[in-house]
């Protein structure tokens, strides 16, 4: 009976030990977002309010889509202003892209940083982009959008009929642009 109890105790202890090691591993890696894949370079193109081209030090041209936000399309009200705003923030400047994947169009998906500024969040804060509800994970973006809307900043100053989220506008538009 003692042997059986010791064996069960040993198995329970080992299981607890393994879970503890896994938990420590997860805490360590979640505490270091810098370990996520990144690229840095100079912004050489701004295609619209949520897509840029970054030229890396090794001369790679990387078309990058700002994640979790969706700016008005070029043919949509405020589309040109959104592009101009993004250009003003980062065109010809060094940025860091925290990569989160690749989209179906082959663009790198990422969060863009210039200096200490989160460019994706800044576009929402200034009222040049919506939070892309389908893909948003950062809850603070919703607060920024609500504050911009309440202050009637950017696209939120438009008449209500023109405040059409880009994902709805693209669905209704016969010619989709990317």
Non-local (6+) Cβ contacts of 99 within 8 A are: 36, 37, 38, 39, 108, 109, 110
Model pTM score: 0.77
Write down the catalytic residue from 15, 37, 63, 65.
65
Write down the catalytic residue from 68, 98, 107, 125.
107
Cβ burial, residue 169 (10 Å; 0-12/13-18/19+): middle
- 73 counts as catalytic: yes
- 149 counts as catalytic: no
- 107 counts as catalytic: yes
pLDDT in tens, 12-65: 554 555 554 454 544 444 444 445 699 999 999 999 999 999 999 999 999 999
Write down the catalytic residue from 73, 98, 122, 145.
73
According to DSSP, the residues that pair with 108 across neighbouring strands are 64, 102
Q: Is the pLDDT of residue 77 over 50?
A: yes
């Amino acid at each position: 009976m003692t042997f059986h109890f010791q064996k069960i105790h040993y198995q329970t202890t080992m299981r607890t030990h393994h879970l503890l090691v896994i938990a420590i591993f997860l805490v360590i890696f979640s505490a270091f977002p810098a370990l996520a894949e990144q690229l840095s370079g100079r912004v050489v193109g701004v295609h619209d309010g949520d897509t840029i081209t970054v030229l890396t030090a090794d001369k790679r041209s990387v078309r990058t889509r700002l994640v979790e936000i969706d700016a008005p399309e070029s043919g949509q009200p405020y589309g040109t202003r959104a592009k101009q705003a993004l250009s003003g923030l980062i065109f010809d400047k060094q940025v860091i892209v925290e990569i989160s994947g690749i989209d179906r169009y082959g663009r790198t998906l990422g969060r863009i940083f210039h200096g200490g500024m989160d460019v994706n969040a800044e576009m929402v804060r200034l009222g040049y982009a919506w939070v892309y509800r389908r893909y948003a994970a950062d809850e603070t973006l919703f607060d920024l959008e609500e504050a911009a809307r309440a202050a009637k900043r950017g696209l939120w100053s438009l008449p209500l009929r023109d405040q059409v989220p880009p994902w709805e506008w693209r669905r209704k538009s016969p010619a989709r642009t990317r």
